[in-house]
Each structure stands twice: as C-alpha cells, then as structure tokens.
Homo-oligomer: A and B are copies of this chain.
Amino acid sequence: MIENATPSTPSSSRSELRDLVRDQLRMLLDQNNLEGAKALLVPVQPVDIAEAIEGLPESMQAIAFRLLSKAEAIEVYEHLDISVQQALIQEFKRQEVIDIVDKMSPDDRARLFDELPAKVVRQMLAELSPKERQATALLLGYEEDTAGRIMTPEYISLKENSTVGETLERIRSLAKASELVYYLYVTDNSRYLTGIISLRDLVISPTDLPLSEIVTRDIVSVHTDTDQEEVARTIQRYDLLALPVVDKEQRLVGVVTVDDVIDILEQEATEDIYALGGVQSDGDKYFRTSLFAVARKRVFWLLILLVTNTFTSAIIQQGGQSLEAVTGEAIAIAAFVPLLTGTGGNIGAQSSTVVIRGLNTDEIRDLGPRQVVLREALAGLLLGSSLGVMAMLWAHFLMGQNWFVAIAVGSSLIAIALLASVAGSALPFVFRALDRDPALMSAPFITTAVDVLGVLIYFNIARAVFTL
C-alpha cells in the first residue's frame, strides 16, 4: 500500500500512513524479513521512522535501527525519545555509537549527553572528532534552558569585502550543508557581529553586487544566558528563521533556529496548562511516566488543598453550631456553602487564567498590575451582582428558603465574587514580583483560598442578616 502513495501525501492520510508503517514494520520484523522492512522504510520521513521504532518492543528497536543507511540513521536518531536513544546506545558497538553521535547536530547531542551518565559522556567526548568535541563542550558549559544550550555553534560567517558571486562560490565550496541556515552572518576581525544577510537576498541579487549593499545592520540578537522562552518570543515577534547568539563581549557564538523554538513554545504552554490544572510539570511526558511518578506530580497540590480545606470544615462546624443557636436554620444555611464557594472559585479561576496567560504571552505587558486588578474587580462585581440576584430569587422561590437566608446568599455571592476576582488577578503579579512563575499561583490554589474566606464571609453576613 505504501507504493500506491502519491508523491504529494496530504497530512490527514499521513497519520494513518504512520500507523500502517508501524504495524507493517513490526510484522516484517516478526517474520525476520529484514529486506522487506528495509524497503518499507525507504520512502518514510525520519521523524515517522523514529515514531515507528519507538512503538516497537525494546528487543526489536536496535534491529530496526540497523536497517537504516548511515545518513538516515543520524536523522532518525535525533528524533528518537531520549529513553530510546539511551537504550540503543547500550545495544550498539562502541564504533557505531561514535559514528552516529559524531554526526548529530551539536544541540541534539548536548541534550542526549545531559541524560547519559557522566562517565559515558566523558568517554564519548574523548572519542569525538576534535571539532565536534569542541562544539559540544561549548554547549554543555551553558545553563539548561538558555540560548547557549539550544543554539548550534555551526553557522557560516563572512567578511564584508566580497561580492554576491564570490560569496555564493564560497558557500558552494564549504563541504557541510548543515551549517547553512537561512541567514549568513557578517563579522569583523574580532568576531563581532556587524551584519546579517538573508540567503534570499543573496540569491536574488546580481552576482557583481558588493555584499555591503544587501547587508542588514539592525540586528536582533540574544545573549548566551537569555532564557529559552525569551529566545522563542523574540523569534516569534520578529518573524525570524534564525536568531544569532552573542557572548558577553558581543561576539557571535551560535545560532538558534525556528524549528527548536516551536517545540519550546509548545512545552512552555503545556507547563502553563499543567500548572493551571494543579499538576506539577518538569518537562517529562506525562503519559510516558510511571503511575507513581504521576501520583507524585499531583499529590503536592492536593495535600496543600486538603490541609486548607480542613480549615473550611472547622469554620463550618464551629460557625454552624453558633449559627444554629442564633437562627435555628444552620443546615439550610450550610446547604448553600458549595454554591457560594463553587461560584467564587470559578470566578477566581477565570481571573487567574486570563492574567497568567496574559503575563506569559506578554499580552498585558503594557497594562500595569493596578489596571488589570481593577478591571478584574469590576468584572467580578458585575458577574457577582447578576449571579447574586439570580441566586437570591432562586433560593427563595424555587428552594423555598425564607428571605433571610436568600438575602444572605445573594449578598455573600457579590462579596465573594469581588474577593475571588481580586485574589485571582493580583496573586499572579505577586508571584511574578517574587520572581516565581505566575502559573504556580494556580486555579486550584485560588479556588481553595476562596473557599476558606468565602465561608467566613457568608456565615458572618448570615448572622448579621438574622440579627437585624
């Protein structure tokens, strides 16, 4: 069926194709039909081969991997999950490993070395070609999640005193295509970055034009220690395909490319979403970690919330007894606690969601905290008033409560909505001011904080209404 695929395969049928490749590969390997398996993989993209290999039982992974040509093997290896990369290394002969690792791109290699035992890394570093060793050692020297770590130190740099034609000749004479990203960097004798030339401009310009005519002087760059999220946002903002990385002395040391950036933005979004959902995230893939690791990621917030909620329980118990003495309707009053805290929690979760996302995508950079919190407070008041009136009428007419209870419910809802929206919008700013991720101020936390305060407010208002 693979042979019938048209050259232009639309992506919708691609995912079926991927499943097919995985199943067929497994079948062929089960039958020990290595030639068939080899033929099957020829027209398949490296990333899809990597996924097919990941789907195989461990005993078959190395066999399947050995079917690939050397050039293809390196590309596929770069796309494999770190855990499979590690497993394969143990299967391979020493020289096979060195051959592959030597030809990986330096940023992918650095990521792999991060996960390997230090002893293995030292051995491998020693056997890499001097140039690759230097490139990797350079990257490993930078902090994780910085521009220095995700950049590739391979790029083409030029001097300015040549023509378009000469430059094209020079590029052609350089052996390794992988070093050519879509910009060329102009440096002076001290490796200071002085200009950028896009490959596009180079190609469309007359060959006798001096480079200085097409060079861009207004350069956007980042430092080696710039956080990877900021690197991503910069590439996104300026619609770049690659971003130069300079060291403290403003010398060009590497380039970050757009494909790495997409994965970073996606990973950061997942971290935000997990934090909002009260799941700790450390960049691991949730569905590939063990059940106990999963439980550990989740139990932290649950415990904090459990402890906080015992305060709510204590307040209801003690407040309830004294309310019973005053009103004789403690249970009727307590029955509205979930409605009030639930609504308050939801309003707080909404406010914190929009503020956290706004902070992390830079959308509210221009608005000060005061403006944002004020706006959320007004929204909370608006929502609380309309819902409060509704809840009051509901309590009296549909649930048959007397007006005292209904008024206590309605007015508490307004106060709680205001509290929740202020807390939900202000706490992320507080966290940011303390230099922590605003997303840590997650919805579950705000929900629970609103529970405790909400019950206190409600019981006090109820007591006041009944003793009027």
Q: Does A199 contact B (CB under 8 A)?
A: yes
Among the stretches A28-36, A85-93, A236-244, A427-435, the one at the interface with B is: A236-244
Q: Say which residue of B266, B274, B309, B375 sits within 8 Å of A339 (CB atoms).
A: B309
Docked complex Cα distance between A8 and B196 (Å): 10
> Which residues of the partner chain B approach A150 to less than 8 Å between Cβ atoms?
none
Among the stretches A116-124, A131-139, A381-389, the one at the interface with B is: A381-389
Smallest CB-CB separation from A199: which chain B residue?
B199
Q: Say which residue of B43, B204, B263, B270 sits within 8 Å of A180 (CB atoms).
A: B204
Query: Which parts of A134-168 form the interface with B (CB within 8 Å)?
Result: 168
Chain A residues bordering chain B, tally (CB within 8 A): 141
Residue-by-residue, is A18-42 near B (CB-CB < 8 Å gives 1, otherwise 0)?
A: 0000000000000000000000000
Residue-by-residue, is A256-288 near B (CB-CB < 8 Å gives 1, otherwise 0)?
A: 001101110110011011101111000001110
Q: Which of A10, A177, A350, A358 has the most CB of B within 10 A?
A: A10
Q: Is the CB of A317 within 8 A of B399?
A: yes
User: From residue A224, how far is it (CB to closest CB) to chain B in Å?
Assistant: 10
Q: Is the CB of B177 within 8 A of A218?
A: no
Docked complex Cα distance between A147 and B332 (Å): 56
Q: Say which residue of B239, B273, B332, B367 sits within 8 Å of A287 (CB atoms).
A: B367
User: From residue A53, how far is it (CB to closest CB) to chain B in Å?
Assistant: 13
Q: Say which residue of B287, B335, B363 sits within 8 Å of A372 (CB atoms).
A: B287
User: From residue A323, how far is it (CB to closest CB) to chain B in Å?
Assistant: 9
> Which residues of the partner chain B approach A112 to less than 8 Å between Cβ atoms?
none
Among the stretches A62-70, A95-103, A294-302, the one at the interface with B is: A294-302
Q: Does A217 contact B (CB under 8 A)?
A: yes
Q: Is the CB of A11 within 8 A of B221?
A: yes
Q: How many copies of this chain sit in the oligomeric assembly?
A: 2
Q: Does A303 contact B (CB under 8 A)?
A: yes
Residue-by-residue, is A220-260 near B (CB-CB < 8 Å gives 1, otherwise 0)?
A: 11110010001101111111010010100010000000110
Docked complex Cα distance between A39 and B177 (Å): 41
Q: Is the CB of B349 within 8 A of A334?
A: no
User: From residue A3, how far is it (CB to closest CB) to chain B in Å?
Assistant: 13
> Which residues of the partner chain B approach A285 to less than 8 Å between Cβ atoms?
363
Q: Does A58 contact B (CB under 8 A)?
A: no
Q: Is the CB of A331 within 8 A of B317?
A: yes
Q: Is the CB of A387 within 8 A of B302?
A: yes
Docked complex Cα distance between A337 and B336 (Å): 11
User: From residue A398, how far is it (CB to closest CB) to chain B in Å?
Assistant: 8
User: From residue A318, how far is it (CB to closest CB) to chain B in Å?
Assistant: 9
Q: Does A306 contact B (CB under 8 A)?
A: yes
Q: Does A219 contact B (CB under 8 A)?
A: yes
> Which residues of the partner chain B approach A12 to less than 8 Å between Cβ atoms?
222-223, 226, 230
Q: Say which residue of B201, B238, B363 sits within 8 Å of A45 (CB atoms).
A: B238
With A295-B383, A350-B278, A350-B279 as given contacts, are A334 and B331 in contact (CB-CB < 8 Å)? yes
A: residues with CB less than 8 A from B are: 6-12, 14-15, 43-45, 47, 55, 168, 171-172, 174, 177, 180, 182, 192-195, 199-206, 217-223, 226, 230-231, 233-239, 241, 244, 246, 250, 258-259, 261-263, 265-266, 269-270, 272-274, 276-279, 285-287, 291-292, 294-295, 298-299, 301-303, 305-306, 309-310, 312-314, 316-317, 320-321, 324, 330-332, 334-339, 341-343, 345-347, 349-350, 352-354, 357-358, 361, 363-367, 372, 375, 378-379, 382-383, 386-387, 390-391, 394, 398-399, 443-444, 447-448, 451, 455
Offer 23 A-B interface pairs, CB within 8 angstroms, sorted by A: A7-B218, A8-B192, A11-B226, A45-B220, A45-B238, A168-B203, A172-B204, A180-B200, A182-B241, A241-B241, A258-B259, A258-B262, A261-B262, A302-B343, A310-B399, A312-B339, A313-B399, A330-B331, A331-B334, A334-B337, A342-B448, A342-B451, A349-B444
